[in-house]
Amino acid sequence: MKALVNCGVAPLHLEPSEQNELIDEAFFGMEVQTLSRYDGWVKIQTPYRYEGYVPASCLVLDESRIAKWAALPRRIVVRPWVDIQKKPEVRAETLITVPMGSLVALRVPAETGQWASVLLPDGREGFAARSHLSPLPLPWQEQNEGEFRDGVVRTACGYLGTQYRWGGKTHQGIDCSGLAFMSYMLNGSYIYRDAKILPGYDIHEIKKEDIKKGDLIFFPGHVAVYLGDRRFIHSTGYAGTEGVCICGMEPGSEGYRDDLMKIISAYGSLF
């Protein structure tokens, strides 16, 4: 059965308990599949085939509302956080605040001006600044390779300074695989959510000498986005450099981590 995420960030837990490990975050407007229900929790599968438990209060399960919402054209949120407001006015009441990567449905697709009229999954109507929304990215296979790689790097760098949060994928907090995932998702590719190369996903292993900007560098339990020029960006909980930062890959370069350079396990690419 289909469901729609109707809260800004729906926490995915390994088990149906707030005290259990946070493993992922599903965003507003995401269509998911429900797998089972348990005492106020729903086990879901995301579009990128990740599974976990979310509070039932975060989901719209009404089939008619899901169909109405899904029939409208979608836009993706491209600012770190965006308010959806009750009226098309900056002073209006905020209905909900949603993170980058969320999806909204346009009620009046051809409308122009500062505000976009949007429908929330639960049937409420609201308004969002049009400049904060963008058409959904083309699938990566339909894009120019160079432009795709530039987009991945640009997106990853947009999270610089964000704190490290296990299971996080927003500018409030993001983990290493969350940074890699968002950098690809916002540019048209769903990669595996965790820090590994998994069969059935588009990332495949490449030789060290073939790595280009936008590719991924894997370590045991960790992943980084390669920026080119022997530098990478990652989100780390390492003492003294917590959060999203850039590391040089040569001894003496800014941010150099000898401990990481010794344990690189693989290089990955879509191409």
Query: Where are the alpha helices (H) located in 158-243, listed in sequence order?
Result: 176-185
Count Cα neighbours of 4 within 13 Å in the Cβ-side half-sphere: 22
Q: What token pair was written down for 267?
A: 């290089």
Q: Which of 13, 222, 245, 247 is catalytic?
A: 222
**H helix or E strand, kind and range, residue 155:** helix 145-157
Active site residue 222: yes
Count Cα neighbours of 188 within 13 Å in the Cβ-side half-sphere: 18
Q: Which of 7, 132, 171, 176 is catalytic?
A: 176
Amino acid (one-letter) located at 155: T
Cα distances (Å, whole numbers) of residue 264 to 103, 196, 257: 35, 12, 11
Cα 76 off chain centre by? 11
Q: What token pair was written down for 163?
A: 């704190």
Q: Which of 132, 234, 245, 247 is catalytic?
A: 234
Active site residue 234: yes
Nearest one of 158, 154, 181 to 25, comparing CA atoms: 181
| CA atoms of 186 and 188, how far apart (whole Å) | 6
Nearest one of 121, 57, 115 to 86, comparing CA atoms: 115
Active site residue 204: no
Angle between helix axes 145-157 and 176-185 (nearest 10 degrees) is 140
Tally of residues, the chain? 271
Residues tagged active-site: 176, 222, 234
